[in-house]
Amino acid sequence: MFDNKENTSLDKLGEFGLIDLITKSVEIKEPSTVKGIGDDAAVINHTDKRVLVSTDLLLEGIHFDLRYVPLKHLGYKAVQVNLSDIYAMNGIATQITFSIGLSSKFPLEAVEEIYAGAILACKKYHVDLIGGDTSASKQGLVISVTSLGHALAEDITYRNGAQEGDLICVSGDLGGAYVGLQLLEREKQIFLENPNIQPDLEGKDYIVERQLKPEARLDIVKLLQDIAVRPTAMIDISDGLASDILHICKQSNKGCKLYEDKIPIDQMTYDTAREFGLDPTVCALNGGEDYELLFTIKQADYDKIKGDVDITVIGHITAESEGHHLITKAGNMHQIKAQGWNAFG
Ligand code: ADP
Ligand code: MG
């Protein structure tokens, strides 16, 4: 993978040399960061706000495949998926810690790529990198990201707040990340069979980016604040629409009706899914990794969101006894089942 790059062995640098190198381009900008990298702990001051904390662990071979994920994208995505959890609470992320375990196959240049991606994500989302941990790993790459953020107590949106009659909304479009993954998997297979064939991803930028370089929806959190809509419940779509709406319903003790014809699916996602013989709706329901926000709002708030092209109403919350259903384009009713990704599957 690093054939054409310089290869600086990490042994020579040592842990502290490595930490110095990877953190030298880190800048502190957030007013709430009192102390960043360099002491035994970072110090944060969120004064009158509630503090939000979320953490993710990413293991090579389980959560990512370095045969098609560039390291810079990996660093970027590791940060994005974690920030997405803070936004899903209707909060603003302000700091992250970023920890890595490195096996001997990784030279310094690889670590620099990962951090370039992570730091780019931090800059773009106005988040300070305030610490982390560095270790050798026996096998493969390990990344763990922890995000911190804040919100006013009354603005925090939990999964359990959905009420009967609330509208179910989703940002952006769904299924793209999964179809992008199918494309990358196919090209990987072709490459494994014949390394001389270059990947053919021409014209598929959007869905490949949806998979490799997702963008957490800070813009939606800000928009909802601007138009004074406080969702009654919210979650980010990491496992797929089906699994994630069920999380909201279960925790809120409610049922739901989703309408297939309302689910936003990008044209390229749709066409490429078809090329693979996949049902685009199934990709949206079960694909996951879209990192869009799924939230419920009071019907009274409909007028405030109806003009926004980036928010789609896809159904409504019902009584729990009515179950969890998708109304298909043909008008049939299907029970929604969680087919989210299972790490132990
Ligand atoms: P400790 O021995 O207390 O764990 P370290 O030597 O691991 O301290 O870390 C020293 C400083 O460098 C701390 O502020 C820590 O948060 C930061 N740090 C260590 N590894 C990383 C990393 N991979 N990314 C960012 N900051 C790091
Ligand atoms: Mg340490």
Domain 10-155 has CATH 3.30.1330.10: yes
Ligand of minimum distance to the alpha carbon of 16: 1
Cα–Cα distances (Å) from 202 to 162, 208, 263, 273, 278, in that order, read 42, 10, 26, 16, 20
* Segments in 135-261 forming alpha helices (H): 176-193, 205-212, 218-226, 241-252
Q: What are the residue ranges of CATH 3.30.1330.10 in the chain?
A: 10-155
CB atoms within 10 A of CB 34: 12
Distance 134 CA to ligand 2 centre (A): 6
Name the residue at shortest CA distance from atom 5 of ligand 1.
133
Question: DSSP for 84-99?
Answer: HHHHTTT-EEEEEEEE
Ligand 1 pocket: which of 19, 106, 115 to mutate (most atoms within 8 A of CB): 19
Q: Do residues 104 and 39 make contact, with C-beta atoms less than 8 angstroms apart?
A: no
Q: What are the residue ranges of CATH 3.90.650.10 in the chain?
A: 167-335
Task: Identify the burial level of 303 via C-beta atoms within 10 angstroms of its C-beta, where 0-12 means exposed, 13-18 middle and 19 or more buried.
Answer: exposed
- pLDDT tens, N- to C-terminus, the chain (345 residues): 444 456 788 888 888 888 888 888 899 999 999 999 999 999 999 988 999 999 999 999 999 999 889 999 999 999 999 999 999 999 999 999 999 999 999 999 999 999 999 999 999 999 999 999 999 999 999 999 999 999 999 999 999 999 999 999 999 999 999 999 999 999 888 878 887 777 777 788 999 999 999 999 999 999 999 999 999 999 999 999 999 999 999 999 999 999 999 999 999 999 999 999 999 999 999 999 999 999 999 999 999 999 999 999 999 999 999 999 999 999 999 999 987 555 454
Name the residue at shortest CA distance from atom 19 of ligand 1.
133
* pTM (2 d.p.): 0.93
Distance 37 CA to ligand 1 centre (A): 7
Homologous superfamily in CATH for domain 167-335: PurM-like C-terminal domain (3.90.650.10)
CB atoms within 10 A of CB 11: 8
CA-based torsion, 115, 176, 54, 293: positive or negative: positive
